[in-house]
Amino acid sequence: MPHHRTLAPPERRGGGAPVIHAELQRHYDALYDQLLNGRRPREARPVLDVGTGDGLALAAITQGSPLHGVGVDTAEPGHWLGPVGWSVIQADAQRLPFDDQSFKSALMVDVFEWLRHPAATLGEIARVTDGPILIVQTDWEGLWFQADKAEVGRDLVRAFTRGAPDQLRSRIRGAAGEAGLAIGESSVAAISTDQLKPNTLAWDVLESIRRYLVLESAQIRARRFDEWRAELQRAADEGQFTMLLRRIVALLEAAA
C-alpha cells in the first residue's frame, strides 16, 4: 500500500464535516474556473474525477456548484465525503468502464504521481472525455518548512516525500504528448502560510507527516519528530514560521 500524500483536510474527530483549509480556498476557486474553461457549468458536466478517494478534494473544488458527475478510484469506495449527487465507481483509470466522450470535463488531483502508465492513462481519460482534462499534482519536492528564516527538518521532510517524482511539469507534458494531448495552460500554484494552529493547512500536513513517519512506517522516533514539531510551534508563536508548497496545474486538451 503506497502512502497517499494528499492536501485534503482530515476528517474531524467525532465525525464532524471536514472543513476546507482557508489557505487553499482561492486555489480551489481557481481550479473550478480552470475546469469550466470559459464554459457555463451545465456545458461542463458531467465531470469525471479520476482517483477520487473519499471525494474531499472534489468537494473542495465543486462544492456548492451545479457540477455533477462520477468519481472513479481503484480502491473500494469507503465513506464518501465528496459532494452530494455524484456517483462513485471502483475502476482503474487505465481501463474506464465508459463509452467514448461520456464526459464533458475530467479532473485528477494528486493521482499523477501514482500512475504506472501515465501516457496510457491520460489517453484513456481523453477517450471518455469531450472537453478539458485538469491535472493537479502537488510537487512534494517543493514542501518546505522554515523557522526563524532558516529551513528546518529537511531530512524529515525528505523521508516523507521520498519516491515522489521530480521534474513533474515535464513528466506531465511528456505523458500528455505521448497520449496525443496538448497542454492548453500550465502553471505552478505556490501556497505559503505562516499559520500553525489546529485546522490549518500546516497543522494538518504536519499531522500526516507524523502519522506516516512515526506510526505507519516507523522510520522516525516519536521524540525526534516531536522536538522538531515543537521548534516549529515556537517559531510560529513568535511569527517566525513559514510553510511553502507548490502544485502543478495543467489543463490538457485534445490536440488539434
- Residues near ligand SAM (CB under 6 A): 4-6, 8, 50-53, 56-57, 72-75, 92-94, 109-111, 114-115, 121
Q: Which residue is nearest to ligand SAM (CB)?
A: 51
Nearest approach in angstroms of CB 64 to ligand SAM is 18
Provide the β-strand partners of residue 249: 136, 187
| Nearer to ligand SAM (CB atom), residue 125 or residue 206 | 125
Supply the minimum distance, in Å, between the C-beta of residue 149 and ligand SAM: 32
Would the CA dihedral through 99, 46, 7, 9 be positive or negative? negative
Phi, psi of 4 (to 5 degrees): -90, 105
d(CA 185, CA 132): 10
**What is the bridge-based pairing of β-strands 133-147 and 105-109?**
parallel
Smallest gap from Cβ 234 to ligand SAM, in A, equals 31
Pick between residue 120 and residue 214 the one whose CB is nearest to ligand SAM: 120
Q: How far is the CB of 2 from ligand SAM (least distance, A)?
A: 8
CA atoms of 22 and 48, how far apart (whole Å): 25
Shorter beta-carbon distance to ligand SAM: residue 52 or 62: 52
Closer Cβ to ligand SAM, 4 or 234, answer by number: 4
Handedness of CA 7, 13, 19, 23 (dihedral sign): negative
Give the distance, in angstroms, between the CA of residue 190 and the centroid of all CA atoms in the same chain.
13
Query: Residue 123 or residue 231: which is nearer to ligand SAM going by CB?
Result: 123
Supply the minimum distance, in Å, between the C-beta of residue 71 and ligand SAM.
Answer: 8
**Residue closer to ligand SAM, measured from CB, 91 or 214:** 91
> Is 116 buried (19+), middle (13-18) or exposed (0-12) by CB count in 10 A?
exposed
CB 57 to ligand SAM: min, Å:
3
CA distance linking residue 244 with residue 141, whole number of Å: 11
- Structural contact between residues 126 and 252, judged by C-beta atoms closer than 8 angstroms: yes
Helix (H, G, I), strand (E, B) or coil at 210: helix
Q: Is the peptide bond before 18 cis (omega within 30 degrees of 0)?
A: no
